Amino acid sequence: MSRAKRGMPLHIKILISLVLGFVAGLICQQMVNNPEAAQGSKDAIGFFNDNLAKPAGSIFLNMIFMIVIPLLFSALVLGVTEIGDAKKVGKVGLYSLALTVVLSSIAVGIGLIGVNTIKPGAGIPEVKREQLMQQYASKNKAETEKRLAQAKEGKTVADTIVDIVPKNPIDAIVKDNILAFMFFALVFGLALGSIEQERAQPVKRFLDGIFHVSLRVIDFAMKLAPIGVFGLTFSAGLVLGLDAIQALGLYVALVLVALAIHMFGVYSLALRFIAGRNPITFFRQVKQVIFTAFATSSSNATLPTALKVADEEVGLPRDVSSFVLTVGATANQNGTALFEGITILFLAQLFGVPLTIADQLGIMGLAILAGVGTAGVPGGAWPVIAIILTKYNIPAAGIGLVLGIDRILDMSRTVLNVVGDVTIAACVSKLSGEKKSLEEAATG
């Protein structure tokens, strides 16, 4: 999601809105709870909340929702098609695919274990939680009860698996069966990657157009973000008060620690045991990639630096790194997958939405796929998070709370996304026995 062209960067505006909205909500909460305050001012606060703050938040979120399906479909199909092309690249493609799936699953696993252990969203008193749920949607309460009843009834494993394969993809969209819809995109992408180039090309070009149009719509939506986030955090501040700050603090710390564990723990192991490299030396070599990813919050924007560093500093063969890094910029996003898993569970805890083990496994699957379907741009994760939240009846308004502090998390997860691509490239070149040619070494 873009920066403002001139003047203050968008993420700073959003941060300011978050703080202002929250502080205003907090002050109003004091007034509403003060028995001596005039009834007139309490009514005015209620009016402001119901007729201005909440609608502003909803309009902003709806703008994001309305483009999620085209965005997700085009990104996922194009991502999978490129991995599908991997067959043509032979071993390199297969190893990349396998490592992407394994590393993304570990990343989401770390996130889910962390969020279930630390429970950053669970410290909110029950009364406030209920108020918050009422604030955001009465429909959600009914859905939550229905969900609890369903959870008691239990769904068989076979039913859960069958539900992933949609009879009708449009019906899957309407019923918010996002996993089934993603499955459809996945199959479509694999098929597209396997037909003759001549036939596939126009479809790819069309989807590429859809993808870029969708990103532009998200840019439009983000222009409303400062107002939307003010509205959303005002409502949250009004109900949650200071409890929200503690929950958010824990959540941010958890995301950062989980990202660090994946980067310095899991990647180090992969580098040592698969790529046969010294992890410390490797992290030193890729420092320029780390800085660029951190500064731009965008895997796409970091791609040129990543290609250069892989070639000149890490010494990877060009054919491997150009394939793995280019595809990986969109299709391999471990940091994003980890972040999405934590954020969805955090918001579920915050609103007290019960999630069964099957739900959590579903979220894990979605987060792994989301790593493939997320655009490598700042804030690319949000449309995907929005749609997964809806699927599990977690109020999407919770996004307002996290969006204001997202920039630092986005910078950090993008580092993991891109370092992950270079790590996979190093592992793949070792596994496939590819080495830098003498000519490359001389010019590189």
Q: Residues in the site for ligand ASP, rule: CB under 6 A?
A: 297-299, 333, 336, 374, 376-381, 410, 413-414, 417
Helix %, strand %, coil % of the chain (to 5): 80, 0, 20
In the complex, the smallest distance separating the C-beta of residue 203 from ligand ASP, rounded to whole angstroms, is 25
In the complex, the smallest distance separating the C-beta of residue 336 from ligand ASP, rounded to whole angstroms, is 3
What span, in angstroms and rounded, lies between the C-alpha atoms of 300 and 376?
5
Burial, 438: exposed, middle or buried (Cβ in 10 Å; 0-12, 13-18, 19+)?
exposed
What span, in angstroms and rounded, lies between the C-alpha atoms of 402 and 15?
10
In the complex, the smallest distance separating the C-beta of residue 171 from ligand ASP, rounded to whole angstroms, is 29
* Number of alpha helices (DSSP H) and beta strands (DSSP E) in the chain: 23, 0
In the complex, the smallest distance separating the C-beta of residue 89 from ligand ASP, rounded to whole angstroms, is 23
Nearer to ligand ASP, 277 or 407 (CB): 407
Nearer to ligand ASP, 1 or 26 (CB): 1
In the complex, the smallest distance separating the C-beta of residue 207 from ligand ASP, rounded to whole angstroms, is 19
Q: Which amino acid is at 385?
A: I
Nearer to ligand ASP, 247 or 403 (CB): 403
In the complex, the smallest distance separating the C-beta of residue 402 from ligand ASP, rounded to whole angstroms, is 12
C-alpha of 396 from chain center: 14
Nearer to ligand ASP, 232 or 293 (CB): 293
Nearer to ligand ASP, 192 or 418 (CB): 418
Tokens 């859905």 belong to residue: 143
In the complex, the smallest distance separating the C-beta of residue 313 from ligand ASP, rounded to whole angstroms, is 21
Nearer to ligand ASP, 78 or 124 (CB): 78
Nearer to ligand ASP, 12 or 358 (CB): 12
Nearer to ligand ASP, 124 or 405 (CB): 405
In the complex, the smallest distance separating the C-beta of residue 228 from ligand ASP, rounded to whole angstroms, is 18
For 72, 128, 363, the CA distances from 381, given in Å and listed in that order, are: 11, 28, 14
Nearer to ligand ASP, 121 or 376 (CB): 376
In the complex, the smallest distance separating the C-beta of residue 295 from ligand ASP, rounded to whole angstroms, is 12
DSSP 7: S
Long-range own/partner contacts, residues 42-50 (CB < 8 A, 24 or more apart): 45/238, 49/234, 49/235, 49/238
What span, in angstroms and rounded, lies between the C-alpha atoms of 177 and 160?
11
DSSP 356: -
Q: Rg of the Cα trace of the chain?
A: 23
Cβ within 8 Å of residue 311, ≥6 positions away:
318, 321, 440, 444
In the complex, the smallest distance separating the C-beta of residue 111 from ligand ASP, rounded to whole angstroms, is 13
Helices (H), 332-404: 334-351, 357-373, 381-391, 398-403
Q: Which amino acid is at 75?
A: A
Nearer to ligand ASP, 13 or 54 (CB): 13
Q: Coil, helix or strand for 247?
A: helix
In the complex, the smallest distance separating the C-beta of residue 270 from ligand ASP, rounded to whole angstroms, is 19
Nearer to ligand ASP, 21 or 378 (CB): 378
What span, in angstroms and rounded, lies between the C-alpha atoms of 366 and 361?
9
Closest CA to 181 of 370, 382, 440: 370
Burial, 386: exposed, middle or buried (Cβ in 10 Å; 0-12, 13-18, 19+)?
middle
